Structure 1
Amino acid sequence: MGSKQLQKVLVIDDEPDIIELLKYNLKKEGYEVKTATDGKKGVEIARDFEPDLILLDIMMPHQDGVETCRQLREVPDLHGTFIIFLTARSEEYSEVAAFDIGADDYITKPIKPRALMSRISALFRRESKKKKDTNKINIGALTIDRTSYTVTIEGEQVTLPKKEFELLYFLAQNPNKVFSRDELLQNIWGSDVYVLARTVDVHIRKVREKIGEGYITTVKGVGYKFDLN
C-alpha cells in the first residue's frame, strides 16, 4: 500500500449520519474516501475503486455485511484489502461470522472516531512491516507469493482470503516451529483486535481444505506448526 495520501477507504453503511461522520474524519486524516449505502452497490464501487480498506456495516437492508464481505473476498483485486466490520451487534455469533468470512477487525457502534482512526493506522503499519519480509516462499510443490497474494500447488492457483493467506504465510516463514493460538492471534490479527481463539481453528481448517492436510500439523495441547518433516 502506498503513502497515506494514496490510501483509499470505502465506507459501506446504510446510515447517512455514520457515513458523514466517517467520511469527515477519514478525509481529515488524508485518506481518499468513497461511500455506498448498501452492500450490492458497495461491491460494484469496490471493483472499480480497489480500496486499501473497507469499513462495512453488518446490518443493512437487501444484503447484509457478511454476504457483502463474502462477495468482496471473491474479487481477486481485493485480496489485499482490509475489511473492518462496523455494527451495533455484539453477540458472539456475529463476531465469529465476521472473522470467518474474512474480516480483519470488528468494531461495535457507537463509533469513536479517534479510536477508529488509531485502529486503521495500526492495520496499515502492520501491513507495511510485513511487506519488508521475503515476498515469496517455495516449499516443494507449494508457492506462496505475498506480492500478489497468491498460492499455487503444482502450478494450480488456490484462492485464499486475506487472513487465511497471512496465516499460511506466517507459518511457512517459520517451518517446524509450534505456535499457540494466542501467538497466532497476536501475529496475524494483532494485539489491538479482539478475536476468539476458535477463529484460528476455523482458519486453519479452511487452509487445510484448500492446500491439503500435509502442510500444517496440529500439536495437541499446544498449537500449530508448518511441518517440513
Structure 2
Amino acid sequence: MIDTLLVIEDDPETRELIVEELSEAGFTVKTAGDGAAGLQAMLDFQPDLVICDISMPIRSGFDLLEDLGSGYPQLDSIPFIFLTAFADRDTELHGRRLGADDFVTKPIDFDLLVEIVRARLSRGPARIRRLDVQLTGREAEALTWAARGKSSADAAILMNVTERTVNFHVENAMRKLGVGSRIQAALLAARAGLIRP
C-alpha cells in the first residue's frame, strides 16, 4: 500500500518542490495552503503523515497542532513533521511540547526529509490504520472499559457477560493489534480511533 502524505505549506513554489520530491520517492502527496485547510484535509482523508510549515496565514502550524491536541482523537496517531526556517531551540521545544514528531529546517535537504518520513512511517500507532485492523463491537467495548481502568470483573457486569468472555474479547483485540498487554491494546486502539475511552 502506498503511503499518503499531506503537505501543508503556504508558499506555492516550496509546496510544488516538496510534492515533486516526495512523489519521486514513491509517496502519494496531497496539499493544503494553510493550517485551516490542512485541518480540513486531515479530517477528510486522514493521511499517513503530515509535513507542515510553521509560519502560515490563517492558522499557523503551531495553531494546527494545538487544535489537533484539543479535540481530534482520531488524528492523534498521525506522525507530524514541522518545516521551519527558524532553527532555534525555543521553536523546537514549543513544537515538541505540542506533539511534533520531528523538525526539518529550510532550505530543505530532500534526502533527509525522505529518510525522516520513511522512518516515521515504519513505526508507531499510525501503522494500525494502514493494516486495516478492525475490532468487533464486543472487542471495542471490552477495550474501552479496560482503557477506563475497569477490571475484567467490572467490565463483565457492565457488559452483562462473564468475566471469561471479557478476557476472550480483550485477548482477541490484543492479538489483532499485535501487543502483549491490555493497556498497550487500549492505548493503541484509542490513538488509532478504534475506541473512544
Q: TM-score range by the shorter chain?
A: 0.5 to 0.7
Aligned counterpart, 1:80: 77
1:3-42 equivalences under 5 Å are 3=1, 5=2, 7-42=3-38
**Count of aligned pairs between the two proteins:** 147
- Greater Rg over alpha carbons, structure: 2
TM-score, normalized by length of structure 1? 0.57
Partner of 2:188: 146
Deviations 1:32-86 (A, max 9, x none): 1111111111101110010010001001122211111122343222121010000
Q: Residue 138 of structure 1: CA displacement? A: 3.2
User: Residue type matched to 2:181 in 1?
Assistant: I
Judged with a 3 Å threshold, the aligned counterparts in structure 2 of structure 1 residues 137 and 150 are, in CA distance, closer, same or farther, namely farther
What is the rounded CA distance, in whole Å, between the counterparts of 2:13 and 2:110 in structure 1? 13
CA contact (8 A) 2:8 2:31 kept: yes
Unmatched 5+ stretches in structure 1:
158-229
The answer on whether the counterparts of 1:11 and 1:36 sit within 8 Å (CA) in structure 2 is yes
Paired residue secondary structure (2:122): helix
Q: Deviations over 1:145-182 (max 9, x none)?
A: 3244279xxxx82xxxxxxxxxxxxxxxxxxxxxxxxx
Task: Pick the aligned partner of 2:42 from 42, 46, 65.
Answer: 46
- Structure 2 residues without counterparts, runs of 5 or longer: 129-175
Q: In structure 2, what is the Cα distance between the partners aligned to 1:94 and 1:120?
A: 20
Query: What percent of counterpart residues are identical?
Result: 33
Contact 1:53 1:81 in 2 (8 A): yes
Residue identity in the other structure for 1:145 = L
The Cα of 1:133 is off from its aligned counterpart by 7.8
State the AA in 1 paired with 2:179. Answer: N
**TM-score, normalised by the number of residues in structure 2:** 0.66
SS where residue 135 of structure 1 aligns? coil
Higher RCO (CA 8 Å, separation ≥ 6 residues)? 2
1:57 aligns with 2:42: no
Match of 2:181 in 1: 137
Distance in 2, matches of 1:82 and 1:27, equals 18
Structure with higher strand content: 1
